[in-house]
Amino acid sequence: MTRQILIFIVAFSVTYTASAESPEKSDHPLSVMDFFVGSCWDGVFSDGKSTDVHCLRPVYGGLYVRDNHRVEGARGPIGGETIFHWNAEARRILYTYWDTRGGVSQGELIPTENGLRSPEEVYEMPDGREMRIASSWVITGDDTWEQRAEDVTGDVRKTLWTIRYQRTPLGTGPAPDAEGCKE
């Protein structure tokens, strides 16, 4: 029994090490996020009254993507963190988002011809109410993209926000985190 456990551990270690080092980045399902990952993104809401900074990093050898963000101005301060992962059984990219107000949401991320979209994320507000949000991340240039979000809770879609983002190198400014974002 001990020998079988040792063989399993060695086989797992060799397999894990080889898989973590050898595949090309594009072999992993999260590679559809490559445009966004490894950068911070400075965004301005379309009303010009708020800003949003996102920093996306690969974590755990690229098996997950962490997105920290912070909103300042009229809509803030608020911060949050999203973890994206590949669900092999469902064959989809899924994510969970937590914010500094106590809200949590979960959704699916789908690659599109010019970016990514989340057809419907369920956002659970701290007071127990739910909101359904559809969003898209549209790549608009080599270093720019736009996020559009709509409330799809009822029968009528309502635009929640549009934000235009510009790439900034990861680590060139303060990374967004939850500190100082509580109301």
Question: Using an 8 Å Cβ cutoff, are 121 and 106 in contact?
Answer: yes
Rounded Cα–Cα distance for residues 171 and 119 (Å):
31
Q: How far is CA 87 from each of CA 70, 73, 84, 90, rounded to the nearest angstrom? A: 27, 36, 10, 6
pLDDT at 93: 97
Cα angle for residues 57, 61, 64 (degrees, 5° grid): 55
Structure tokens at 183: 């109301």
The answer to whether the CB of 53 falls within 8 A of the CB of 43 is yes
* Dihedral sign of CA atoms 119, 61, 27, 9 in order: negative
* 68 within 8 A of 177, measured Cβ to Cβ: yes
Residues 97/112/119/44 CA torsion (nearest 10 deg): 60
Over the chain (183 residues), the average pLDDT of each successive run of 10 is 37 35 61 94 95 94 94 92 96 96 96 96 94 97 97 91 90 50 36
Cα three-residue angle 179-45-29, rounded to 5 degrees: 75
- Cα gap 159→72, rounded to integer Å: 20
pLDDT, tens only, 31-69: 999 999 999 999 999 999 999 999 999 999 999 999 999
Q: What ranges do the domains of the chain cover?
A: 26-169
- pTM score, two decimals? 0.79
Which pLDDT value is given to residue 154?
Answer: 84
CATH code for the domain defined by 26-169? 2.40.128.20
